[in-house]
Chain A
Amino acid sequence: MQQIDKPIRNQTASLLMACVFCILSISLFEPLLFWVLLIAICATVMRVVMYIGWYQPVPSPRTINLLGLLCCVCLVWFSFSIGLLLTMVNLLILAGALKLMLLDSPRDLFHLFCTSLFVIGIGFTFHQSFIMTLFYGLLTIALLVALARYFTPSQSLPWHTKRILTMGLQALPIAILLFLIVPKLPPLWKMPVAKSTETGLTDTVSPGDIASLTQSSELIFRATFEGPVPDPHERYWRAITLEHFDGKQWTVSPLRKQARQQYRLLNYEFNPKLSGSWWQYEVIAQPTNKHWLYGIDIAVPADHASDEMIWRGADYQILSESPLSTRRAYRLRSYPNADMSQTLESLDQRVNLQQPATTTLNPLTQQWAAEIAMRHPTVAARIQAVLNYFVAKGFTYTLTPPAMPDQPVDDFLFTHQQGFCSHYASAMAYALRLMDIPARMVAGYHGGETLQPGVLSVYQYDAHAWIEAWMGDRGWVRFDPTAVIAPQRIQFGIQQAVEEEAFLANNQLARLKQLPFLADLQILYSLMDYQWSRWVLGFDAQRQQNLLALLLGKVTGEKVTYLVLAIFGLIGLLLALYFIPHWRKQRVAPVQQWYHKAVAAVTRCTGQVRANRGPEAFANAVQSHLPASASAQFSALSEQYIQLQYKPKPQQHEEKAFVRHCRAFIRQISRQPAA
Chain B
Amino acid sequence: MFGGLSQRFNRIHERWLRRRIPANSRYTLHLKNVFIFPTRFGFGYLLTCVSLFLLGTNYQNNLMLLLCQFLLAVFLLHLFVSYRNFTATTLALKPITPVVAGEHALLVVQLEDKSPQHPFFGGLQMQIRHTNLRVLNRRADQTKQLKLLLPTSVRGLFTLPRITFQSTYPLGLFRCWTHLDFNQQLVVFPSPIPSSLRLDSTDAAQGDTSGPTPGIDEFESLRNFQQGDPMNRVAWKQAAKGGDLATKTFTQSRQESGWLSLALYQHEPLEKALGLLSYQINRLTQQQQTFGLRLDTQSIGPGSGELHKLTCLTQLAQYRTTVVPYAAD
Which of B66, B68, B84, B168 has most chain A Cβ within 10 Å? B66
User: With the chains together, A184 CA to B66 CA distance in Å?
Assistant: 12
Contact of A152 among B48, B55, B117, B169 (CB under 8 A): B169
- Residue pair B64, A178 in contact (C-beta under 8 Å): no
Given A140-B67, A154-B138, A189-B58, 9 other A-B residues pairs in contact with their CB atoms under 8 A: A2-B137, A3-B142, A114-B48, A122-B55, A128-B61, A140-B70, A151-B169, A187-B60, A325-B59
Which stretch, B14-22, B75-83, B249-257, touches the partner chain A? Answer: B75-83
Contact of B118 among A118, A163, A539, A581 (CB under 8 A): A581
CB distance from A512 to the nearest CB of B (A): 28
User: With the chains together, A528 CA to B18 CA distance in Å?
Assistant: 61
B1 within 8 A of A: no
- Which residues of A are in contact with B by a Cβ distance under 8 Å? 2-3, 5, 110, 114, 117-118, 120-122, 124-125, 128, 133, 136, 140, 144, 147-148, 150-155, 163, 167-168, 170-172, 174-175, 178-179, 182, 184-191, 325-326, 328, 536-540, 571, 575, 578-579, 581, 584, 587
Contact with A along B62-76 (1 / 0, CB 8 A): 111111111111101
- Residue pair B74, A124 in contact (C-beta under 8 Å): no
Q: Which residue of A lies closest to B56 (CB)?
A: A121
User: With the chains together, A168 CA to B44 CA distance in Å?
Assistant: 20
User: With the chains together, A167 CA to B76 CA distance in Å?
Assistant: 11
Q: Which residue of A lies closest to B60 (CB)?
A: A187
- Residue pair B61, A124 in contact (C-beta under 8 Å): yes
- Residue pair B45, A540 in contact (C-beta under 8 Å): no
Q: Within 8 Å CB of A188, what residues of B?
A: 54, 57-58
B38 within 8 A of A: no
Q: Which residue of A lies closest to B68 (CB)?
A: A121
CB distance from B93 to the nearest CB of A (A): 18
- Residue pair A2, B66 in contact (C-beta under 8 Å): no
- Residue pair A578, B74 in contact (C-beta under 8 Å): no
Contact with A along B140-175 (1 / 0, CB 8 A): 011100010000000000000000000011111000
Q: When A151-B170, A154-B142, A325-B59 are in contact, do A120 and B67 touch as well, CB less than 8 Å?
A: yes
- Residue pair B68, A172 in contact (C-beta under 8 Å): no
- Residue pair A114, B44 in contact (C-beta under 8 Å): yes
Q: When A2-B139, A151-B170, A152-B169 are in contact, do A118 and B52 touch as well, CB less than 8 Å?
A: yes
Within 72-128 of B, Cβ neighbours of A (below 8 Å) are at: 72-74, 76-78, 80-81, 84, 117-118, 121-123
User: With the chains together, A5 CA to B138 CA distance in Å?
Assistant: 8
Which of B71, B141, B147 has most chain A Cβ within 10 Å? B71
Q: Which residue of B lies closest to A1 (CB)?
A: B143
Q: Within 8 Å CB of A5, what residues of B?
A: 138-139
Q: Which residue of A lies closest to B45 (CB)?
A: A114
- Residue pair A124, B171 in contact (C-beta under 8 Å): no
- Residue pair A575, B80 in contact (C-beta under 8 Å): yes
Q: When A118-B52, A189-B58 are in contact, do A110 and B172 touch as well, CB less than 8 Å?
A: yes
CB distance from B134 to the nearest CB of A (A): 15
- Residue pair A187, B67 in contact (C-beta under 8 Å): no
Q: Within 8 Å CB of A175, what residues of B?
A: 66, 69-70, 72-73
Q: Within 8 Å CB of A2, what residues of B?
A: 137, 139, 143, 147
User: With the chains together, A3 CA to B145 CA distance in Å?
Assistant: 12
- Residue pair B74, A154 in contact (C-beta under 8 Å): no
Contact of A148 among B45, B60, B170 (CB under 8 A): B170
Q: Within 8 Å CB of A179, what residues of B?
A: 62, 65-66, 69
User: With the chains together, A184 CA to B68 CA distance in Å?
Assistant: 13
User: With the chains together, A152 CA to B170 CA distance in Å?
Assistant: 7
- Residue pair A152, B122 in contact (C-beta under 8 Å): yes
Which of A128, A152, A539 has most chain B Cβ within 10 Å? A152
Q: Within 8 Å CB of A189, what residues of B?
A: 58
Q: When A124-B64, A151-B122, A155-B121 are in contact, do A3 and B73 touch as well, CB less than 8 Å?
A: no
- Residue pair A578, B77 in contact (C-beta under 8 Å): yes
B51 within 8 A of A: yes
User: With the chains together, A256 CA to B142 CA distance in Å?
Assistant: 75
Q: Within 8 Å CB of A172, what residues of B?
A: 70, 73
Q: Within 8 Å CB of A3, what residues of B?
A: 139, 142
CB distance from B144 to the nearest CB of A (A): 11
Q: When A326-B59, A537-B62 are in contact, do A167 and B138 touch as well, CB less than 8 Å?
A: no
User: With the chains together, A582 CA to B123 CA distance in Å?
Assistant: 27
Q: Within 8 Å CB of A579, what residues of B?
A: 80, 84
Q: Which residue of A lies closest to B51 (CB)?
A: A118
Q: When A121-B67, A171-B77 are in contact, do A148 and B171 touch as well, CB less than 8 Å?
A: yes
B37 within 8 A of A: no
B41 within 8 A of A: yes
CB distance from A3 to the nearest CB of B (A): 6
- Residue pair B62, A536 in contact (C-beta under 8 Å): yes
User: With the chains together, A147 CA to B63 CA distance in Å?
Assistant: 23
- Residue pair B123, A151 in contact (C-beta under 8 Å): yes
Contact of A182 among B65, B122, B169 (CB under 8 A): B65
The 3 closest A-B pairs by CB, nearest first: A174-B73, A171-B73, A124-B63
Could you jot down 14 A-B contacts, CB within 8 Å? A117-B52, A118-B51, A124-B67, A125-B59, A152-B138, A152-B169, A153-B138, A154-B142, A167-B81, A175-B72, A182-B65, A187-B58, A326-B60, A537-B62
Which of A167, A175, A579 has most chain B Cβ within 10 Å? A175
User: With the chains together, A133 CA to B62 CA distance in Å?
Assistant: 11
Q: Within 8 Å CB of B62, what residues of A?
A: 179, 536-540
CB distance from B174 to the nearest CB of A (A): 11
User: With the chains together, A643 CA to B84 CA distance in Å?
Assistant: 37
- Residue pair B139, A575 in contact (C-beta under 8 Å): no
- Residue pair B57, A187 in contact (C-beta under 8 Å): yes
Q: When A121-B55, A152-B141 are in contact, do A575 and B170 touch as well, CB less than 8 Å?
A: no
Which of A151, A153, A174, A190 has most chain B Cβ within 10 Å? A151
Q: Within 8 Å CB of B139, what residues of A?
A: 2-3, 5, 153-154
Q: Within 8 Å CB of B52, what residues of A?
A: 117-118, 121
Q: When A114-B48, A117-B52 are in contact, do A540 and B60 touch as well, CB less than 8 Å?
A: yes
- Residue pair A144, B66 in contact (C-beta under 8 Å): no
User: With the chains together, A191 CA to B169 CA distance in Å?
Assistant: 38
User: With the chains together, A147 CA to B78 CA distance in Å?
Assistant: 13
Q: Within 8 Å CB of A133, what residues of B?
A: 63
- Residue pair A168, B74 in contact (C-beta under 8 Å): yes
CB distance from A307 to the nearest CB of B (A): 15
CB distance from B146 to the nearest CB of A (A): 9
Q: Within 8 Å CB of A182, what residues of B?
A: 65, 69
User: With the chains together, A188 CA to B50 CA distance in Å?
Assistant: 13
Q: Which residue of B lies closest to A575 (CB)?
A: B80
Q: Within 8 Å CB of B69, what residues of A?
A: 174-175, 178-179, 182
CB distance from A83 to the nearest CB of B (A): 15
Q: Which residue of A lies closest to B47 (CB)?
A: A114
Q: Within 8 Å CB of B123, what residues of A?
A: 151-153
- Residue pair A326, B58 in contact (C-beta under 8 Å): no
Q: When A114-B45, A121-B64, A125-B61 are in contact, do A151 and B168 touch as well, CB less than 8 Å?
A: yes
